[in-house]
Amino acid sequence: MSEASNLPPEWTIIYHGPVSFKGRGEFLRLILEDKGVPYVNSAKNLYGPIGIMDCFRGDAKAVASLDITPFPVFFPPAIWHRPPNGEEVFINQVSACMVYIGEVLGYAPVTPAERGRAESVMANAIDYIAEGRRSFHPVKDSMSYNDQKEEGNRASKEFATKRMLLWLSHFDKVVNKFGGPKTPVAGGASVTYADFCLFHVLDATVNQFNTDFYEMAWDKADIPSLKKYYEWMKSRGNLQMYFKSDRCPPYAGDSMM
């Protein structure tokens, strides 16, 4: 065994495991897969009073009593970057992780204006999928969908016919703003973290709502440019290889996760 093989992985995605569904960790996987850099998924020591995530410690006293991570994190997903010749980074929140990965791997906006647009698109994409997820958990957000299935089915059907279409129409305008639906969404020369965020929420929409139960809501939506943008992003070479690999987890089948 070589010395290099004993080194820790440079990139680690910390999320619920084992990896049996996409969840919010998928945002991070997409940008790493597109770049073609190796990474590992980990749920090691995620939960409990001495776990690495403060939100799972149980109470404030347990949170305050233990500081064991390179930087405190509250909730997954998190990215753990251990570059061979650089500063160790350990952060959570999808948006913070995507910005950091984008900066390191070459998916960062170039100008302040492009950065502002990228941040706006990313924040809206994350808000959209969060709203969609809540429609499956209308009784209590922390309760399983299966424990509120009747109410969740009713609320998610309403979401698919109203708020979802509002969001998708907005995103359809966004992708048309700079050169049409086959161009980076923030208006720069290259794709940014915003493109991967928007693509993922569209992919989650197609998987979740383009079914008989939701009356093929994606197919019926009048968003021609957004559909072209979705297919354009989906066709990227490394993403195509990822989708066909055993590294790509399935969707859970509810909650756009």
**pTM of this structure:** 0.95
Cis peptide before 83 (omega within 30 of 0): no
pLDDT digits (tens, 9 = 90+) for 77-115: 999 999 999 999 999 999 999 999 999 999 999 999 999
Rounded distance between C-alpha atoms, residue 137 and residue 202, angstroms:
20
- Residue 7: alpha-carbon gap to chain centroid: 27
Return the pLDDT at 50: 95
pLDDT digits (tens, 9 = 90+) for 193-209: 999 999 999 999 999 99
Q: Long-range contacts for 42-51 (Cβ within 8 Å, ≥24 apart)?
A: 42/12, 42/13, 42/14, 42/15, 42/17, 42/80, 43/14, 43/15, 43/16, 43/17, 43/18, 46/14, 46/16, 46/17, 46/76
Per-residue pLDDT of the chain (257 residues; tens, 9 = 90+): 223 457 789 999 999 988 899 999 999 999 999 999 999 999 999 999 999 999 999 999 999 999 999 999 999 999 999 999 999 999 999 999 999 999 999 999 999 999 999 999 999 999 999 999 999 999 999 999 999 999 999 999 999 999 999 999 999 999 999 989 999 999 999 999 999 999 999 999 999 999 999 999 999 999 999 999 999 999 999 999 999 999 999 999 999 99
